[in-house]
Structure 1
Amino acid sequence: MRTARTQMIRAALGLALMALTANTHAQHGVLQEARDEVREPKPPKSPTGEVPPTDRDDLRKPWEPYKEEDDFSAMFGRLFTYWFVGAGVVATAPLWGPAVWVGDGYVETCRFAAYPNEGGMCGYVHVPVARSDTKFWSVRTRVEGADNFDGLQRIGTQVLVESAIRLGLDSSFNYYRESLESGVHDDLWTGDANVVFRFAQSEHLTTRAGLGMTWLSDDVGSDFGPNFTYAVDWFPVAPWIISSEFDLGLINDSLLLHLRATAGVNVRHCEFFGGYDWTKIGSADLCGFVGGVRVWY
């Protein structure tokens, strides 16, 4: 009789223990793991920075088998998160950095002067509007020549139209002519067209970026692809104008990279500039010193 009663008590205790264990398992989900990460004290680390195996075993739940790769996965996940956030901040800095630097809060309206440094004032964009003779639209065109002094010449043009609401259109055309050793000549055309947005503006600095298309054309045919453009105009002190441009495009399977930097001096509506222009299409370098005139109106 006593034996039967003892067996019944043991069975009841066993069922209660199973229920408690099942309830404990149910409570340790993703949210509980998050709580443990925040609230549980971290184990002491060895001089090498690794957690001793015995300590790792102490942290392991009784029903969880220990896996060394869990520590590596967690560390890799944290490092990847830090790297991704840091890389995102650095990569987007050219877009948000200039606006922060010049204090552009996107609340002030602007107008354009008749030409840069008009009337002894430094710059081209008036923020806020201080004069009634400024313009809602801005148009500038340039004509230039480039030479790498190794048989390659280029003639290029650009038209840029901007508005006081920051939107604009940008288009450029380039004609390349190369003198070959055989005495014959080779030529081709390149260009792009983009919709741009002026995301930072002040009297001394304007920056714009946009998306569009780029192309290459010759006697065989024409090829097109997407394009990203980024440009800066800096007016440090009259009559100087410092400009730079960056283009990243893809024509079929070939990457197009374009970088240029120029320094110019304006005399009323005309700016005379010189600098360097570097274009790379696939493995081909189309670069050279550049000089020309840009008209602002």
Structure 2
Amino acid sequence: MLSSDQASQLKRPSNSSLHRPNSPSKTLAAKPSASHLAPPSPSKLPANIAASAEVSKLQAELLQLYLLHQEAPNVDAEWRASAKQKLGNRFQKLSEESREVAEQESVALEKRNVLALRRWGSGGRLDEKIQSLESIVTNVWSLSDPGGRYARVVRHFEIWIDGVSEMEDARKKGVMLTQGNDNLFIEDLDARWKEERGDLIQLLTEWRQQLSDINDLSRDEFYTEPPEEDEKSSLEKMLDGSRMLIDDMLAELEIMDEVEHEALAREDAWIEKMNRSEDDDLRVSRVRGAWNEM
């Protein structure tokens, strides 16, 4: 048995044997500071990474452009050859179709002309009608030529109406002009012009009546309604064209007469106005073409 002193000595360790165990973290080597860390690679910086991607993209585009440029002459030649062939085929097809349509129209027109000529001569007097139409067309075109009678009448009237316009415009500005033989007033057209105009009206009226007598195509049993312009025969176009030309010439001659009457009426009104504005002893006479003191 151990005594109490011996037992206490066994339970209490000696001071020399007591020590604090080291912490595992204390035994590890100390971490280096941030100043001792190695710098990252420049290629891994965000800005450099973005620049590298852009360069790669540009290189790819440049390669594509190079390949396109290298193949451009061949591609252009192939495209031109293909386009030329396609357009050539299309043009040839359209030409053939146009030629077929023209042939069909020619055949149709020939049929219409033959039918119209038969209808025109069905009542007899075909030779007489042809001669009458030829005479009318020749005479009408002769009148309307630049040196023809109708053209001379038109030119004379145009000169006269230009003078009337100049005098009326000058009066509005307070200026007095003379017309023709130094007259201060607007004179009517001369008697020779009026006689020529009357002869033309008589001739054109007679030719229009003759044309109406021979133009019986619209009065036969085959004529149900007026045909379209592109469906008319050459004979119908000639008859209609001659009638329209005669009608237009007659209408123009009638308008010339109306314009003359209106101009002279304005002149009489102007003279009356001037007389009212002057003294009672001073009168204006358009007949004598001068100021006259009464």
Q: Normalized against structure 1, the TM-score is what?
A: 0.21
TM-score normalized with structure 2 length: 0.21
Say which structure is richer in helix: 2
Bigger Cα Rg: 2
Greater relative contact order (Cα 8 A, min sep 6): structure 1 or 2? Answer: 2
